[in-house]
Structure 1
Amino acid sequence: MPKFVIEREIPNAGDLTAEQLQGTSDASCCVLRELGPTIQWVESYVTDNKIYCVYIAPNKDIIEQHAAKMEIPANQINQVKAIIDPTTAE
């Protein structure tokens, strides 16, 4: 199944409290359960003004549905074409 990286522009995301992040995570998991087993949230990276999320999903459409139900942006949705790490050089 394809893997996607989603860029979400969220001003001051880096200032969100642990409680706010927990609440967002909980809400996201509830929406994911509604959407069914074909979409999976892997992890997210919070920076100053953006959150980058990694999802496994059959297509961009279901990721857009998730964002709409959560009322959060999905400014860029990019399918991962390859994964590299230091062992790729070996």
Structure 2
Amino acid sequence: MKSIKNIILPLAIVLFAGITATAQTTTANNSSTSNSTKMKTYLIERDIPGAGKLTPEQLKGISRKSCSVLQNMGPQIQWLESYVTGDKIFCVYKAENEDLIREHAKEGGFPANVITEISTTISPATAKQ
């Protein structure tokens, strides 16, 4: 039963992310150049024991740290949202590449145990197309 939960929960998160994120790639313009680069969408799995028991103040602190690191990194990486579960936090990011995700995690001091590029998203709207 637990192995099914380990498969269904990340899948549900990816599907939910598809509802809230309108596209898996966007174009980001770097202010210092006229070239545009493709942003990819990533699902990051962070193993954080007791994550589901973190207080609102602790979550606010984590969020502030993440935003501070992102601000210093520039527009080639963006945090969309995160889902807090018992012992994990699943985050949805847009970035030019996976290395930026790893750099953000290192600079922020939080794990990035699994990084998965999202190739496409589906939602209930997909059934109506």
Query: Normalising TM by the smaller chain, what interval?
Result: over 0.9
How far did residue 58 of structure 1 move? 0.3
Which residues of 2 match residues 3-18 of structure 1 at below 5 A? 3-18=41-56
Q: Can you give the 5+ residue segments of structure 2 that lack an aligned partner in the other structure?
A: 1-38
Q: Specify the alignment match of 2:93 in structure 1.
A: 55
Q: Cα RMSD over matched residues?
A: 0.5
Greater CA radius of gyration, 1 or 2?
Answer: 2
Q: Secondary structure at the match of 1:83?
A: coil
- Aligned equivalents of 2:114 and 2:51: distance in 1? 16
Offset, 1:80: 0.5
**Greater RCO (CA < 8 Å, at least 6 residues apart):** 1
Give the structure 1 partner of residue 26 of structure 2: none
Distance 2:64 2:111 in 1: 17
Instruction: Report deviation, 1:88.
Output: 1.0
User: Which of 113, 116, 123 is the aligned partner of 1:75?
Assistant: 113
The TM-score, its normalising length taken from structure 1, stands at 0.98
Distance 2:44 2:104 in 1: 11
SS at 1:82 equivalent: coil
SS in 2 for 1:27: helix
Match of 2:57 in 1: 19
Structure 1 residue runs of 5 or longer lacking an equivalent are none
Q: Which residue of 1 aligns with 2:34?
A: none
What is aligned with 1:84? 122
**Aligned partners of 1:22 and 1:73: how far apart in 2?**
17
